[in-house]
């Protein structure tokens, strides 16, 4: 029997792996045993949800970021391995504008030029990183189960990095996955030790992995987005049922405002108020309902929001309540609700979010917010920065011209009205977003990943 290790510590990992065909494909092979490592407080919930004789759950504590000063040193050095425009801008924003330390900024840029552009330096430090850091926190599980393969569904996380180090030292074959489209170019994750193989959702991420984290083309498998399979394979409820859930009039058109949260856009609430006012003033049609969808983890603060009956706040998500700690999960019902929200919307708006891809999958018109509500912020604090070369991962979306970028409220109102009048506007460009970002939107991405893992397990 083949044994596969999978650490699952965060909700997107659980959604992308456990609640897709990745896990189903693995356990469909009766000669495969899957050992899933989860936070100790979630152990019983996962055991109850995923009951199968080929699955074993192990509850573990979240590890410390570093186990020694030397470990911390290599971790810090690894942050200089990726010299991307986003990484450069973030350093300027943090050290020059935030810390107001030009000396630290110049030193930082020197190390970035050194490690981010000369591969031999990264190779040497990765070698010493592996050789000197002795981490045995999870060795007991390797000795107990003798795995054939370890799958790191988001190998930027500290738990996945720890398991990858153990796998390398135990000479266990490893497959990593890039969990999100901005994981690489954001340059805030330490790609210290590399897996034997890498799964990328699309060709764009594949090319970034080759350019920035030294993965070779022959070692990268393109899969598609596993959680997008749900959009293809699941059925949508009727508009009447959907509107009844949210208490809105099914005869009205829907503007889906997908929040990115107050951390990245602290003035979203102002934009919401401006849109509500535009309906009251007659600049937007009266038969329009705005569904303000709260981000599942980064809430927008709504204390100052006073809206009319045209706005509905949607903060629906699954909260698991424990005696000492509550946490949220992305269950099938949550994925269904998001899909229904997109399917029944007439126009969608967001701030530089993956929701642009989600909306394109459903061929829904997309407008992006590139202004700061009622405020005039300096560039490095403004959401305008998200739409420049400083944010690499979003440039392919903009190049498709499948989204309209609104730099003020008047433009936002204009684009919403344009799309309400002609929903097919930019249809071909939205199709290009799907083609470039989704690889194959055929409902089989999870299956492809599962089959690839079985192949790698031998």
Q: What is the pLDDT of residues 340-385, one digit of tens each?
A: 999 999 999 999 999 999 999 999 999 999 999 999 999 999 999 9
- To which residue do tokens 């009844």 refer? 244
The pLDDT confidence band at residue 325, using thresholds 50, 70 and 90, is confident
Could you give the residue ranges of the DSSP H alpha helices within 175-310? 203-212, 229-233, 239-246, 268-280
Topology adopted by domain 235-438: Rossmann fold (3.40.50)
The pair of structure tokens assigned to 198 is 């890498």
Q: What is the dihedral of CA 445, 336, 361, 410, to 10 degrees?
A: -150
Taking alpha carbons only, the member of 29, 35, 27 closest to residue 6 is 35
Q: Check residue 322 and give its pLDDT.
A: 73
How far, in Å, CA of 163 to CA of 368, rounded?
A: 38
Q: Is 149 helix (H, G, I), strand (E, B) or coil?
A: strand
List all residues 6 or more positions away from 449 whose beta carbon is below 8 Å from its beta carbon: 22, 25, 177, 199, 223, 226
Structural contact between residues 185 and 392, judged by C-beta atoms closer than 8 angstroms = yes
Regarding beta strands 326-329 and 318-321, do their DSSP bridges make them parallel or antiparallel, or are they unpaired? antiparallel
The pair of structure tokens assigned to 289 is 């309902």
Q: Taking 80 as the threshold, does the pLDDT of residue 413 lie above it?
A: yes
What does residue 97 show for φ and ψ, rounded to 5 degrees?
A: -80, -35
Q: Check residue 192 and give its pLDDT.
A: 96
Residues carrying CATH 3.40.50.2000, the chain: 2-65+135-225+443-457, 235-438
Regarding beta strands 197-200 and 220-222, do their DSSP bridges make them parallel or antiparallel, or are they unpaired? parallel
Over residues 214-273, the pLDDT tens digits come to 999 999 999 999 999 999 999 999 999 999 999 999 999 999 999 999 899 999 999 999
How far, in Å, CA of 163 to CA of 175, rounded?
A: 11
Least confident of 135-139, 153-157, 158-162, 306-310: 306-310
Instruction: Match domain 2-65+135-225+443-457 to its CATH number in 3.40.30.10, 3.40.50.2000, 3.40.50.720, 3.40.50.10490.
Output: 3.40.50.2000
Stretch 106-122: mean pLDDT = 97
Stretch 302-323: mean pLDDT = 82
Mean pLDDT, all residues of the chain: 95
Three-state secondary structure readout of 212-239: HCCCCHHHEEECCCHHHHHHHHCCCCCH
Structural contact between residues 56 and 36, judged by C-beta atoms closer than 8 angstroms = yes
Cβ burial, residue 167 (10 Å; 0-12/13-18/19+): buried
The pLDDT confidence band at residue 302, using thresholds 50, 70 and 90, is confident
Q: What is the dihedral of CA 201, 204, 210, 213, to 10 degrees?
A: -70
Q: Check residue 362 and give its pLDDT.
A: 98
- The model carries a pTM of 0.95
Q: Check residue 306 and give its pLDDT.
A: 78
What does residue 289 show for φ and ψ, rounded to 5 degrees?
A: -110, 130
Stretch 24-40: mean pLDDT = 96
Q: Taking 90 as the threshold, does the pLDDT of residue 317 lie above it?
A: no
What's the CA angle centered on 74, arms 72 and 75, to 5 degrees? Answer: 60
Q: Is 173 helix (H, G, I), strand (E, B) or coil?
A: strand
Q: Check residue 35 and give its pLDDT.
A: 98
How far, in Å, CA of 279 to CA of 307, rounded?
A: 11
Q: Check residue 369 and give its pLDDT.
A: 98
What does residue 346 show for φ and ψ, rounded to 5 degrees?
A: -100, -35
Q: Check residue 316 and give its pLDDT.
A: 83
The pair of structure tokens assigned to 188 is 């805030």
Q: Taking 90 as the threshold, does the pLDDT of residue 57 lie above it?
A: yes
Q: Taking 90 as the threshold, does the pLDDT of residue 403 lie above it?
A: yes
């Amino acid at each position: 029997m083949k044994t596969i290790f999978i650490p699952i510590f965060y909700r997107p990992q659980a959604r992308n792996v456990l609640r897709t065909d990745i896990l189903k494909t693995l356990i469909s092979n009766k000669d495969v045993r899957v050992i899933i490592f989860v936070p100790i407080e979630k152990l019983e919930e996962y055991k109850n949800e995923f009951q199968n004789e080929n699955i074993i759950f192990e509850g573990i504590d979240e590890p410390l970021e570093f186990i020694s000063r030397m470990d911390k040193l290599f971790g810090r050095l690894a942050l200089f391995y990726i010299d991307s425009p986003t990484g450069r801008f973030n350093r300027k924003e943090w050290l020059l504008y935030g810390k107001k330390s030009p000396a630290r900024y110049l030193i930082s840029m020197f190390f970035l030029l050194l490690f981010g552009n000369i591969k031999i330096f990264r190779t040497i430090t990765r070698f010493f990183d592996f050789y000197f850091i002795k981490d045995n926190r999870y060795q007991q599980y390797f000795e107990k189960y003798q795995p054939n393969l370890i799958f790191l569904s988001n190998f930027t996380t500290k738990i996945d990095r720890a398991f990858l180090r153990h796998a390398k030292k135990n000479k266990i074959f490893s497959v990593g996955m890039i969990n999100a489209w901005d994981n690489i170019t954001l340059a805030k994750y330490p790609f210290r030790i590399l897996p034997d193989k890498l799964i990328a959702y699309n060709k764009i991420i594949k090319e970034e992995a080759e350019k920035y984290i030294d993965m070779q083309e022959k070692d990268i498998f393109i899969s598609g987005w596993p959680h997008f399979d749900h959009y293809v394979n699941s059925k949508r409820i009727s508009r009447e049922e959907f509107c009844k859930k949210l208490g809105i009039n099914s005869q009205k058109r829907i503007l889906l405002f997908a929040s990115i949260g107050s951390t990245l856009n602290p003035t979203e609430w102002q934009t919401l108020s401006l849109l509500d006012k535009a309906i009251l003033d007659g600049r937007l049609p009266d038969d329009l309902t705005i569904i303000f969808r709260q981000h599942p983890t980064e809430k927008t603060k709504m204390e100052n929001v006073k809206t009319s009956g045209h706005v509905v706040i949607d903060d629906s998500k699954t909260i698991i309540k424990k005696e000492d700690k509550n946490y949220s999960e992305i269950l099938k019902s949550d994925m269904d609700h998001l899909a229904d929200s997109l399917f029944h919307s007439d126009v969608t708006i967001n701030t530089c979010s993956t929701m642009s891809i989600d909306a394109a999958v459903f061929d829904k018109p997309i407008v992006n917010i590139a202004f700061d509500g009622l405020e005039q912020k300096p560039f490095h604090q403004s959401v305008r920065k998200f739409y420049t070369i400083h944010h690499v991962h979003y440039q392919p979306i903009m190049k498709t011209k499948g989204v309209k970028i609104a730099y003020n409220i008047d433009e936002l109102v204009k684009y919403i009205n344009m799309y309400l009048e002609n929903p097919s506007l930019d249809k071909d460009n939205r199709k290009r977003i799907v083609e470039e970002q989704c690889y194959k939107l055929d409902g089989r991405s999870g299956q492809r990943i599962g089959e690839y893992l079985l192949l790698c397990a031998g």
